[in-house]
Amino acid sequence: MDRFSYRGLAFTCLFSAVAFGGHIATAQQLNRVKEKDMESTRSVLLDEWKGPHGGVPPWNLVREGEFLPAFEQAIAEADEEIAAIAESTEAPTFKNTLLAMESAGASLNRLSSMFFVYTSNLNIGPIADIEKTVVPQLTEHEDRIYQNAKLFDRISAVYQSEAMKNGELNAEEQRLVEKRYKTFLRKGARLNAQQKAQLSQFNTRLARLFTDFSQNVMEDEKGYVTWISDEADLAGLPESVVKAMANAASDRDSAGGKWAVTNTRSSMDPFLTYSDVRSLREKVWRNYYSRGDNGDEFDNNKIITEILALRSARAKLLGYPTHAHWRMEPTMAKDPQAAMDLMLKVWPKAVARVREEVADMQAIADAENANVKIEPWDYRYYAEKVRKAKYDLDFNEVKPYLQLDKLREGMMWASTQLYGLQYKQISGVPVFHPDVTVWEVTDADGHHVGLWYLDPYAREGKRSGAWMTDYRAQENYRGKITPIVSNNSNFIGGSDGEPVLISWDDAVTLFHEFGHALHGLLSKVRYPSQSGTNVARDYVEFPSQVNEHWLDTPEVLSRFAVHYETGEPIPQELLDKIKKASTFNQGFATVEYLASALIDMKIHLTDQTSIDPDQFERETLEEIGMPSELPMRHRTPQFMHIFSSDSYSAGYYSYLWSDALTADAAEKFTEAGSFYDPVVAKSLHDNVMSIGDTIDPAEGFRRFRGRDVDTGALLRKRGFPVD
């Protein structure tokens, strides 16, 4: 499953990155909108949210046809609010400039947070076409902000003011000013008029291409289903997988067959792991890894070529040698070479481990007289056989103990032990789909902390993978405003009230995404642009990855990994096997991920002017010594992280960078003797989970760990030799 915090779609502040596509609203169109707005009724979607806990998203009031006029109104209002700040005759101060910007565009933020839930969770009917129109309008709006010379002059004046030098502004205020100033520079504030116009053209075209790319991937996910009618073709599949395939077929109400393997990771992965039918494994594998690369109307290769050319031209216009240098400037790593150094430190060790894993798999295949050479569609299947042979661990024996609802209880319980959080499911709050449940989160004293929405099941129009979204960021400068966050997954729902059983990997992902949610819920800062997950890209995965570690603690497994039929806790014998096999298959997991991360960085560092994505991918994988027996986790034509927005571009390395922090942080709990040690948990809360972007992330980690990160912990965690 795709562990992806899909935050780029939630407008937690006015300056969240917008990176999608469509047509652009001209200044004349916006003026006409403003004139019409004087005569028309203001959209209810722009109103402040009503209801409990500071208001909730009014999903019950959404009418899809209202999105376009609502965005026109909201953008016009936001333009006016920014203009009022820029045109102010008062001397620039933190309050009348930076603080005013924190408040600007509130209606647009509320509307955007709701609309982009539709694009990711309910992208059916007219939503795709609306997205193609709306997002470029948002892109142009963002450009108007960053290219506003008067606004930048005011920000510059505050940045260079005595208040910054003499300590009149506190540390978090100074950080807010400095980051805003540098962001404006990175976005082209000092370009001349001609250059700004060119930059806007780049951004607008990229916005359209990003949307086309993501919608093409979604079309291929919908369009390629492997149907099965013959029961003999179910050989090897566990009962839980067969039931999920039957439910998937039923949901599609198709005559294609009784069972369906959909073209998503959560459906593909278990089929490749357990199916005895090699020809079907290959078909499912090819469907999945060919998304966006089928030479048809949804093929993404030409789109990628144009995206890369535009990114390169934009970086040079802004004064950077490559897109990677531009993107990485505000990160922890700072420079592409630092990220490459870490990846290349791990890569050869991971490849060596893959060679060992493949040898073990080939030996089993040969012993069974299978007469096969291990291919990518065989890797998961034979890896499972090796796991049974080497560790006597069959995850089919584990899965009956992995109920989605019980594991949700388990991750909530762990957060209660660590942070004192309490959860109560509430009703009467509008939701965007019947699958969604809402939980009130309170602290140890019963005070309201925030709301957590859970949307766990796959359906048509929902992007694959798993992600966290924040509907509203925490802040304290305009009174206490509490966060609203959501977790989103793609599990196949059970039938007739049966519990949903998930894989071990899916359970890890569940805890991972909840870590993002906790990062948003535990935020205790003043300003929304510094809140929760609004941190450096290569730091944002640290809180989520560290939260994975609580899944396999004995305290969680013994209480919540209970058999779905008997209610008996998972046997200690199985727990011991899971622990013993904790570093099993790390070659596959690391190489699969790192291949994508290296392609991402190399393709954004190249000086090639016209890139054939398939050729670049093929040649680069050969150059770095990619084993032929497994694919990269995200092939280039379906690499949503880096081509559906700028968000993770030249930044997919961040999962490894964050995991270096995670592994070191986990060792601190181990050194304390328990993952529930109250002193270490409080330090994690105070120095990581609650502080958002109020301090440099390296300093936050340093305060938690007592020193800089030890990257050797990353190698130890994965079972690789430490130099």
Average pLDDT over residues 246-270: 87
Q: Is the pLDDT of residue 459 over 50?
A: yes
In the structure, what pLDDT confidence band is assigned to residue 252 with cuts at 50, 70 and 90?
confident
CB-count burial class (<10 Å; 0-12, 13-18, 19+) for 305:
middle
How does pLDDT run across 179-211, given as a tens digit for each residue?
Answer: 999 999 999 999 999 999 999 999 999 999 999
Distances, alpha carbon 167 to alpha carbons 102, 161, 171, 530, 693, in Å: 21, 11, 8, 20, 19
Q: For all residues of the chain together, what is the average pLDDT? A: 92
- 446 Cβ contact partners less than 8 Å away, ≥ 6 residues apart: 422
In the structure, what pLDDT confidence band is assigned to residue 257 with cuts at 50, 70 and 90?
confident
SS percent in the chain: helix, strand, coil, step 5: 55, 5, 35
Q: Residue 569 has what pLDDT?
A: 95
In the structure, what pLDDT confidence band is assigned to residue 632 with cuts at 50, 70 and 90?
very high
Q: Which of 13, 46, 23, 35 is nearest to 139 (CA)?
A: 23
Q: Is the pLDDT of residue 4 over 50?
A: no
Separation of alpha carbons 304 and 392, rounded Å: 45
Distances, alpha carbon 135 to alpha carbons 8, 22, 45, 71, 128, in Å: 12, 6, 17, 10, 11
Out of 19-28, 75-84, 235-244, 645-654, which region has the weakest mean confidence (pLDDT)?
A: 19-28
Q: Is the pLDDT of residue 21 over 50?
A: no
Q: Is the pLDDT of residue 475 over 60?
A: yes
Distances, alpha carbon 98 to alpha carbons 211, 431, 579, 618, 696, in Å: 31, 34, 50, 47, 19
Separation of alpha carbons 205 and 203, rounded Å: 6
Determine the topology of domain 12-146+148-190 in CATH: Neurolysin; domain 3 (1.10.1370)
In the structure, what pLDDT confidence band is assigned to residue 410 with cuts at 50, 70 and 90?
very high
Catalytic positions: 513
- 321 Cβ contact partners less than 8 Å away, ≥ 6 residues apart: 315
Q: Is the pLDDT of residue 30 over 80?
A: no
**Residues of the chain above pLDDT 70, percent:** 94
Q: Do domains 12-146+148-190 and 400-580 have the same CATH topology?
A: yes
The CA-based dihedral angle spanning residues 309, 313, 319, 325, taken in that order and rounded to the nearest 10 degrees: -10
Query: Considering all CA atoms of the chain, what is the largest pairwise distance in Å, rounded to the nearest integer?
Result: 83
CB-count burial class (<10 Å; 0-12, 13-18, 19+) for 711:
buried
What one-letter code names the amino acid at 162?
E
Q: Is the pLDDT of residue 706 over 50?
A: yes
Domain spanning 400-580, CATH class: mainly alpha
Q: Is the pLDDT of residue 159 over 50?
A: yes
Q: 434-442 contacts: CB < 8 A, separation 24 or more?
A: 435/459, 435/493, 436/486, 440/53, 441/521
Out of 29-38, 232-241, 443-452, which region has the weakest mean confidence (pLDDT)?
A: 29-38
Domain boundaries along the sequence of the chain: 12-146+148-190, 225-277, 400-580
Average pLDDT over residues 660-681: 98
Q: Is the pLDDT of residue 318 over 80?
A: yes
The two three-digit tokens of residue 405, written as one number? 């609802």
- Nearest 5 degrees, angle CA 646-CA 647-CA 650? 75
Average pLDDT over residues 220-237: 95
**CB of 425 closer than 8 Å to CB of 30:** no
**CB of 377 closer than 8 Å to CB of 268:** no
Separation of alpha carbons 683 and 16, rounded Å: 29
Q: Residue 22 has what pLDDT?
A: 31
Average pLDDT over residues 641-662: 97
Task: Match 């661990």 to its residue by tokens.
Answer: 393
Distances, alpha carbon 395 to alpha carbons 55, 275, 333, 581, in Å: 43, 14, 37, 11
Q: Residue 41 has what pLDDT?
A: 80
The helix (H) or strand (E) run that includes residue 439 is strand 437-442
**CB of 497 closer than 8 Å to CB of 301:** no
Q: Which of 41, 45, 100, 35 is nearest to 67 (CA)?
A: 45
**Residues of the chain above pLDDT 90, percent:** 89
Q: Residue 106 has what pLDDT?
A: 96
Q: Residue 428 has what pLDDT?
A: 92
Out of 24-38, 77-91, 147-161, which region has the weakest mean confidence (pLDDT)?
A: 24-38
Average pLDDT over residues 245-251: 89
Q: What is the DSSP string of 127-192?
A: HHHHHHHHHHHHHHHHHHHHT-HHHHHHHHHHHTSHHHHTTSS-HHHHHHHHHHHHHHHHTTTTS-
Q: Which of 659, 642, 660 is nearest to 651 (CA)?
A: 642
Q: Residue 466 has what pLDDT?
A: 95
Task: Match 């959404």 to its residue by tokens.
Answer: 62
Separation of alpha carbons 594 and 391, rounded Å: 26
The helix (H) or strand (E) run that includes residue 426 is strand 422-426
The helix (H) or strand (E) run that includes residue 205 is helix 193-223
206 forms beta bridges with none
Q: Is the pLDDT of residue 13 over 90?
A: no
How does pLDDT run across 333-361, given as a tens digit for each residue?
Answer: 999 999 999 999 999 999 999 999 999 99
Q: Which of 303, 268, 298 is nearest to 286 (CA)?
A: 268
Separation of alpha carbons 637 and 216, rounded Å: 10
Separation of alpha carbons 486 and 499, rounded Å: 22
Average pLDDT over residues 643-663: 97
Separation of alpha carbons 513 and 530, rounded Å: 20
Q: Residue 40 has what pLDDT?
A: 56
Task: Match 């008996």 to its residue by tokens.
Answer: 568
CB burial readout 686-695, b (16+ within 10 A) else e: ebbbbbbbbb
How does pLDDT run across 499-537, given as a tens digit for each residue?
Answer: 999 999 999 999 999 999 999 999 999 999 999 999 999
